[in-house]
A = this chain, B = another copy of it.
Amino acid sequence: MDLTQYLDTTAETVDKVISRHFGNVYGDLFQAGAHLLLAGGKRLRPAVVLLAADAVKKNSADDVMLAAIALELTHTFTLVHDDIMDADAVRRGVPTVHTLWDEPTAILAGDVLYAKAFEFLTMTEASDRAKVHAVRMLGKTCAEICDGQSMDISFERRGDVTEPEYLEMVQKKTGVLYGAAAAIGGLLAGANPIQIDALYQWGINSGIAFQIQDDLIDLLASTEATGKDRASDIREGKKTLIAIRAREKGIDLAPYQRELTADEIDEVIALLGDAGVLDEVRAAAVERATTAKRALAILPESEERQLLTDITDYFIERGY
């Protein structure tokens, strides 16, 4: 099976399970909690949980389905809370929870999803020992994600963000949840500590590669392809790896922190391209992806291991 097929099939199954558990919830609060969860999405983190389990032990994906849902619940809770902080009005093509309901409801809706994530993790088919390990890992991961979001917000007020700081933020905000998804899928299926660590490293590095590619897409991809404004990061002065490398090369992006015409965006792209920034940033994403894929080598060869590798490639090859 190729990756697109696999992800489509899995997303359909995950959607069904989510709909079964959250499609008919009662009361305003639980409907608010289910809102974004039911709005779809690529369900990448559940797919990673399922693939990691199968890569460790054939045919164990079904057993860890509720853990896969737990990871999607966790992801969704962070989105609901982030949308409040970032005052974002639209997510996954639907109005955000705090705009459709209100801010208190959105805080509580995120908190409910958070609770459900841990509840679902305990309901999965696995040894109690593995479940306790998984809960501890998810707890640690959630605290790190919060730290990543906090760093991201604090970067807005700073002009001197360094590359290590950026990488730490991205690792926490995006990497660790992919790391936890892979490691939890694996450990619930009976992975040994070395395999668990390899899966975690795969996830962290894939997640970082994903985020770096996201920064490139924001600048380079057309609005038609992404559905977002082109170069919004530059306009908002976001501290991306592109911005940090540009600063190191003495390129001043401050004049571009305003509404930009298509020609002006092309001008910035040319400026960054000529200075080698874009190639360097692309290389950084490729390097992370390589590290991620290399980590998987200790797992036995399997279709699922290959699909994990394909996910990493997809993260850095996607154009939007």
Which of A's residues lie within 8 Å of B, judged by CB? 27-30, 81, 84-85, 103-105, 107-108, 110-112, 114-119, 121-123, 127-129, 131-133, 135-136, 138-143, 146-147, 149-150, 153-154
Interface-central residue, A30, A111, A119, by most chain B CB under 10 Å: A111
Within 8 Å by CB of A108, from B108, B128, B140, B149, lies B149
Residues of B within 8 A of A136 (CB): 118-119, 122-123
- Min C-beta distance of A268 to chain B, whole Å: 29
Q: Chain copies in the assembly?
A: 2
Specify which chain B residues have a CB less than 8 angstroms from the CB of A147 in the assembled complex. Answer: 27, 29-30, 112
**Is there an interface contact between B138 and A128, defined as CB atoms closer than 8 Å?**
no
A119 touches which of B114, B119, B121, B143 (Cβ 8 Å): B143
A119 near B139: Cβ-Cβ < 8 Å: yes
A115 proximity list for chain B (CB < 8 A) = 139-143, 146
Contacts of A146 in B (CB 8 A): 29, 108, 111-112, 115
Q: Which 9 pairs between the two chains have the least Cβ-Cβ distance?
A: A119-B139, A115-B142, A128-B128, A85-B104, A29-B150, A115-B143, A118-B139, A122-B136, A108-B146
| A111 vs B79: C-alpha distance when bound (angstroms) | 13
The contact of A111 among B30, B112, B114, B122, by CB within 8 Å, is: B114
Q: List 22 A-B contacts (CB under 8 A).
A: A28-B154, A29-B146, A30-B147, A81-B111, A85-B104, A104-B150, A105-B150, A110-B111, A115-B140, A116-B139, A116-B143, A118-B135, A118-B138, A119-B135, A119-B140, A119-B143, A121-B135, A122-B136, A122-B139, A128-B131, A128-B132, A131-B135
Q: Is there an interface contact between A85 and B111, defined as CB atoms closer than 8 Å? A: no
> A147 vs B108: C-alpha distance in the bound complex, in angstroms?
8
In the complex, which residue of chain B has the Cβ closest to the Cβ of A120?
B139
Interface centre among A29, A85, A105, A118 (most CB of B within 10 A): A118
Q: Which residues does chain B contribute within 8 Å of A141, judged by CB atoms?
A: 115
Contacts of A117 in B (CB 8 A): 139
A118's partner among B81, B112, B118 (CB-CB below 8 A) is: B118
Complex CA distance for A149 and B107, rounded to whole angstroms: 11
Which chain B positions have C-beta within 8 A of A140?
Answer: 115, 119
A112 pairs with B143, CB closer than 8 A: yes
Q: How far is the CA of A116 from the CA of B112 in the complex (A)?
A: 16
- A128 contact set on B, CB distance < 8 A: 127-129, 131-132
Bound together, the chains give a CA A85 to CA B108 distance in angstroms of 9
**Could you tell me the distance between the alpha carbons of A285 and B127 in the complex, rounded to whole angstroms?**
43
Complex Cα gap A72–B310 (Å): 44
| Cross-chain contact A150 with B118 (CB below 8 angstroms) | no
Rounded to whole angstroms, the CA-CA distance of A87 and B135 in the bound complex is: 32
- Across the two chains, which residue of chain B brings its CB closest to A121? B135
Q: Of B84, B111, B154, which is within 8 A of A142 by CB?
A: B111
Kindly identify which residue among B28, B85, B105, B139 contacts A107, using a CB–CB cutoff of 8 Å: B85
A191 to B246, CA, bound (A): 62
